[in-house]
Amino acid sequence: MRRARDRIDELREEIREHEHRYYVLNDPAIADEEFDRLMHELQALEAGHPEWLTPDSPTQRVGGQATEGFPSHAFGEPMLSLDNVYSVEELREWEDRVRSRIGDAGIDYVAELKIDGASIHLVYDGGVLRHGITRGDGRVGDVVTGNVRTIRSVPLRLRTDDTVEVRGEMFLGIDAFRRLNEERGSRELPRFANPRNAAAGSLHQIDPAMVRDRPLDFFAYTLLPRGERQSGDLERLSGLGFRVNPHWRACGSFDDVVEFCREWETRRDTLDYEIDGVVVKVDAVGLQDRLGSTSKAPRWAIAFKFKARQATTVVLDIKVQVGRTGALTPKALLEPVVLGGVTIRNATLHNEDEIDRLGLRIGDRVLVERGGDVIPKIVKVVEEAPDRREFQAPASCPVCGSAVFRADDEVVRRCLSQACPARMKEAFLHWAQRKAMNIGGLGERLVKQLVDGGVVSDVSDLYRLSDDPDGLAALERMGEKSVGNLLAEIDASRAVGFERLIHGLGIRHVGERTAHVLARHFHSMSRLMAAEPAELEQVDEIGPVVAATVSRFMREPRNRALIERLESAGLPMASDGPAPERPNQVFAGQRIVVTGTLEAWTRDEAKVLIEARGGRVASSISGKTAFVLAGAEPGSKLAKAEKLGIRIVDEARFREMLV
């Protein structure tokens, strides 16, 4: 017993250290698999000894229970906002005011990046994270501890036993933001306008599991109670285990502050998160206290805001593009305008509803913004043109002329023709991308030539190209060497594996992650093709929409024929290694609650047994519980089950059910 307890402590300590190295220092010391192994060992031990489970254990970061609404928390010290300045002149005026208030002493400043996210307040009691709270209106915030816990750079336990409060900015990196929006786009959910909205929205998700899937991050900048200097507090925050933005500078003169602001205005694009300015703070806390605050903002700090990457321009036309899934996407052609050093000619409109929402007509003057998204977007119409023209959604595909169709539950129109060259080209580019079949050299220009020249009509044709290398060499810009390279790349793609092939097929809603989940579960194409929607839905992470699209795709004769051709071309139709023996799905769709101590299995092991048979393990009893598996000393859950008349199964009976 003692040994398990010691091991739990040891593992927690070790995992915390690795998390700190990975998420805060960016300097991992072990491989991911090794980390996972430590985590699994800890989970297994804790599952066997729930009495030793504590909220600061690293296992408690993920998952979590859904909450209903959020309770409020009144801040002891309000979370003030900052006053803004938009030019160096205004910044100097602020510094004049500071100096005149405290007499003309030499003042030290700290300049920090202004992270464009959402601020949160963290409460640590004896070194353990107790509460995570949003800013709210600055006096009262929402307690969102479950969600905050999923942020890996927020330590659940400090490196000391301090009772402190910490404030900082929670944000979503630009890559994570793009991925989130792409995924939302493919699920036809509205996109977030910028990483800040995405981050703030995430904190208010009811289900922490949803938040966990958004890789949120956190930079700490305020420690309460304050020390003597802001610069010292930033160092202490790092020492406590927080991620502190590395680009802060202690400035002995105001010229240093100005230089820092100018430097970062030009360097902001080199960061992989968004900043919208620099926060300048008086370093000495004694001076901060003398300066005090207004009801809105402290007098000892100021935000130097960068010029927004927004501009106004005119919408010259709206064109429609056709994507891989046949989706018709309107795109605005703009009068070229420079935004933060980049000339912008197009803006995405996502779908027709977006045009309605903006009230946009061709000819209007609009405000465009380049945020975290690569493609700029239209924020709003600023001036309606007198001769404005309404956009007419095409009744037929602008590329192939086939009929287009808008399903009741969809926001986009689609071209339904499989032979549409635009769809075909997109399908080839999707197949060739690095995360799918990784065929370097098969870029837009070549795909266009191959498709327009009728050389290929679906991706299986790529694997026949080696039969006729001369035909390829006849294409523009295809020398012997390029042909050789391309054929070698195509050949090598046969080895990338089953999971990438599923991704490459371009089934709607099936991105990299879902392809991985499907490959792992079904192991072979024949099984996947045979799966009914209900069976697909049993797979963890697969919901009804994805289940329906996958099954529809697999039933479509054209797709089945394509898969057959790919198989004959030597592409992998199963995962490596033998297929796992699949137990009888006796618990399919059932919710089962496990309580008490089992003799033969830990709770985690019982969970594995149940899930492998199609069941789900729930933590609490409800009307939907199929039965309760009760071991020794079952506690209050058994009584509740009895009261609700839910079936109770003992270990011996459970064993019989497993066969």
> CB-wise, 286 or 544, nearer to ligand IVH?
286
Cβ neighbours, 10 Å, residue 127: 18
Q: Cα(23)–Cα(242) distance, rounded to whole angstroms?
A: 9
Supply the minimum distance, in Å, between the C-beta of residue 263 and ligand IVH. Answer: 16
**CA 398 to CA 152: how far, in whole Å?**
46
Residue placing its CB nearer to ligand IVH in the complex, 279 or 507 = 279
Enter the tokens of residue 601.
């299995």
- Please report how the helices 195-203 and 174-186 are oriented relative to each other, as an axis angle in degrees rounded to 10: 80
∠ CA 564-566-567 to the nearest 5 degrees? 65
Considering beta carbons, is residue 114 or 377 the nearer one to ligand IVH?
114
Q: How many CA atoms lie within 13 A of 413 on its CB side?
A: 20
CB of 277 to ligand IVH, least distance (A): 8
Q: Give min distance, CB of 82 to ligand IVH, in A.
A: 4
The interaxial angle of helices 444-452 and 421-432, nearest 10 deg, is 140
When the beta carbons of 80 and 209 are compared against ligand IVH, the nearer one is 80
Report the alpha-carbon distance of residue 441 to residue 257 in Å, rounded. 47
Return phi, psi of residue 3, to 5°.
-65, -40
Rounded alpha-carbon distances, angstroms, from residue 588 to 191, 535, 598: 35, 9, 22
Least gap, CB of 178 to ligand IVH (angstroms) = 21
Q: Determine the length of the chain.
A: 659
Smallest distance, Å, CB 301 to ligand IVH? 5
Contacts of 425-429 spanning 24+ positions with Cβ under 8 A: 425/451, 426/322, 426/323, 426/324, 427/324, 427/458, 427/459, 427/506, 428/456, 428/459, 428/462, 429/324
d(CA 190, CA 203): 17
Residue closer to ligand IVH by CB (options 223, 547) is 223
Using alpha carbons only, give the angle 461, 467, 473 rounded to the nearest 5 degrees.
90
Tell me how far, at minimum, the Cβ of 275 lies from ligand IVH, in Å: 8
Q: Which is nearer to ligand IVH, 276 or 458 (CB)?
A: 276
Measured CA angle at 246 (ends 264, 18), to 5 deg: 145
In the complex, the smallest distance separating the C-beta of residue 244 from ligand IVH, rounded to whole angstroms, is: 10
Q: Look up residue 74 and give its amino acid.
A: A
Closest contact distance (angstroms) between CB of 80 and ligand IVH is 4
Q: Toward ligand IVH, which CB reaches closer, 169 or 458?
A: 169
Cβ distance to ligand IVH smaller for residue 303 or 447: 303
CB of 374 to ligand IVH, least distance (A): 24
Q: Pairing state of beta strands 365-369 and 377-383? A: antiparallel
Judged by CB, which is closer to ligand IVH: 133, or 490? 133
Sign of CA dihedral 90, 96, 101, 102: positive
Which two three-digit tokens encode residue 94? 């602020």
Question: On the CB side of 251, how many CA atoms lie within 13 Å of its CA?
Answer: 21
**Alpha carbon distance, N-terminus to C-terminus of the chain:** 32
Toward ligand IVH, which CB reaches closer, 247 or 516? Answer: 247
Q: What angle do CA 219, 72, 194 make, to 5 degrees?
A: 45
Return d(Cα 195, Cα 533) in angstroms, integer: 35
User: Is 481 a residue of the active site?
Assistant: no
Structure tokens at 238: 């790092």
Active-site pick, 114, 281, 377, 425? 114
Q: For residues 372 and 274, is the Cβ–Cβ distance under 8 A?
A: yes
Residue type, 235: E
Query: Nearest to ligand IVH by Cβ — which residue?
Result: 119
Please, what is the minimum distance in Å from the beta carbon of residue 132 to ligand IVH? 14
At 389, the amino acid letter reads: R
Q: Which residues bind ligand IVH (CB under 6 A)?
A: 80-82, 112, 114-115, 119, 169, 221, 279, 298, 301, 303
**Residues acting as catalytic residues:** 114
